[in-house]
Amino acid sequence: MTKKLRFGIVGCGVIGPFHAQAITSLPDAELVAVADIILERAQELAETFQVTPYSDFQEMLAREQLDVVDICTPSGLHRVQQETGMKMAVISQHRFDPDTVKVHELIEEQAFGRLVLGNALVPWWRSQTYYESGEWRGTWKLDGGGVLMNQSIHSIDLVQWLMGPVKSVIAYTDTLVHRMQTEDVAVAVLRFTNGALGTIAATTGAYPGTGTRVEIYGDKGSAVIEDDHLSYLHLARDDGEGVSPYGATREQRAPSSPGGPSAAQNPAALAIRSHALQIEDMMRAIRENGTPLVDGYAAKHPVEIILGIYESARTHKEVTLS
């Protein structure tokens, strides 16, 4: 029987319990300890999952012989993979959503033809109370940015993963609704290295908040992913006679392929599913001495796009990414 990998979590705030659930849903993973500088938070989570609580993560590392450390502390406290010999994965769980993986495979098969346009829309709501719930939220130093760096990074990652690398950006950002250092609204125009164009529009000031949308358009197909669900897919290769020179009729615009399962069927399972899939990918990398799909280098791409957007908004100039 395969030995279970021993996990410890550092940071037991909002997302820590979610990771605990994802880890414990995997048969080959074992959560053994959790740590938080606020001991009561560690104790509460430890009690739920019957593991050992620590207030000092160094002590947890020294005592628990962990195979995997799952870091759920404020973003600015994370450190990037160097020459440590350790493997690192950055959580980008939507890359593991089965519908998104399907679109990625179709793009690799050239099923969309020439890619022309890739858009990400993140019209979310976060209250002022949310930003005041942790001193790090909405700060340059520890959140690294606002709606782009915190809430939209996954959608930006998907657009660049699906469309290909971004060559340059032009953008506006502003802070219109909240008392915070960083932006709560942003729009950016992207030029991809393959010549396609794209947009990012994001805010945490859109009450009450609606779903995320990632749109991929090519001259042989279109796909729309709403949250983690493929709501529209239409490929020329599935059409008998094709569409008229003026495009599809209303009837022809019906999706040629139904989307995946709805979150309504089992919201809790779907909520942790993609995290669990990414944790499994990390376990595979450890067992096979391979590389996780989203290692530190892969995770830099959306960060570089966002930093380019900040620079463009500050300088009012197009920014070319290196």
Ligand X SMILES: NC(=O)c1ccc[n+]([C@@H]2O[C@H](COP(=O)([O-])OP(=O)(O)OC[C@H]3O[C@@H](n4cnc5c(N)ncnc54)[C@H](O)[C@@H]3O)[C@@H](O)[C@H]2O)c1
Q: Contact between 243 and ligand X (CB under 6 A)? A: no
With CB under 6 A as the contact rule, the residue among 74, 98, 255, 259 that binds ligand X is 74
Site for ligand X in 9-68 (CB under 6 A): 10-16, 35-38, 41, 57
Min dist. Cβ of residue 37 to ligand X (A): 4
Closer Cβ to ligand X, 79 or 250, answer by number: 79
Q: Contact between 91 and ligand X (CB under 6 A)? A: yes
Q: What long-range pairs does 107-113 form, CB within 8 A, spacing at least 24?
A: 107/162, 107/216, 107/218, 110/220, 111/220, 111/221, 111/235, 111/237, 112/216, 112/217, 112/218, 112/219, 112/220, 112/221, 112/222, 112/223, 112/235, 113/218, 113/219, 113/220, 113/221, 113/236
Site for ligand X in 299-318 (CB under 6 A): none
Min dist. Cβ of residue 178 to ligand X (A): 16
Q: DSSP for 150-189, please give it.
A: IISHHHHHHHHHHH--EEEEEEEEE--SSSSSS-SEEEEE
Closer Cβ to ligand X, 37 or 197, answer by number: 37
Closer Cβ to ligand X, 72 or 107, answer by number: 72
Q: DSSP for 63-85, please give it.
A: HH--SEEEE-S-GGG-----TTS
Closer Cβ to ligand X, 93 or 100, answer by number: 93
> Across the beta sheet with 229-235, what order do the strands follow?
229-235, 221-226, 213-218, 115-123, 197-203, 185-192, 166-174, 319-320
Part in contact with ligand X (CB under 6 A); list of ranges 7-15, 96-104, 276-284, 296-304: 7-15
Closer Cβ to ligand X, 127 or 193, answer by number: 127
Min dist. Cβ of residue 106 to ligand X (A): 25
Min dist. Cβ of residue 177 to ligand X (A): 20
Closer Cβ to ligand X, 38 or 254, answer by number: 38
Part in contact with ligand X (CB under 6 A); list of ranges 69-77, 194-202, 218-226, 255-263: 69-77
With CB under 6 A as the contact rule, the residue among 21, 24, 93, 173 that binds ligand X is 93
Closer Cβ to ligand X, 33 or 166, answer by number: 33
Closer Cβ to ligand X, 10 or 166, answer by number: 10
The distance of Cα 312 from the centroid of its chain, to the nearest Å, equals: 23
Cα separation, 131 vs 138, in Å, equals: 6
Cα separation, 121 vs 107, in Å, equals: 20
Q: Which residue has the tokens 């949250």?
A: 227
As to burial, measured by CB atoms within 10 angstroms (0-12 exposed, 13-18 middle, 19+ buried), residue 66 is middle
With CB under 6 A as the contact rule, the residue among 4, 30, 43, 134 that binds ligand X is 134
How many chain residues bind ligand X (CB under 6 A)? 22
Closer Cβ to ligand X, 138 or 221, answer by number: 138
With CB under 6 A as the contact rule, the residue among 25, 150, 199, 291 that binds ligand X is 150
The CB-nearest residue to ligand X is 13
Cα separation, 213 vs 51, in Å, equals: 38
Min dist. Cβ of residue 165 to ligand X (A): 22
Q: Contact between 77 and ligand X (CB under 6 A)? A: yes
Residues that bind ligand X (CB under 6 A): 10-16, 35-38, 41, 57, 72-75, 77, 91, 93, 134, 150
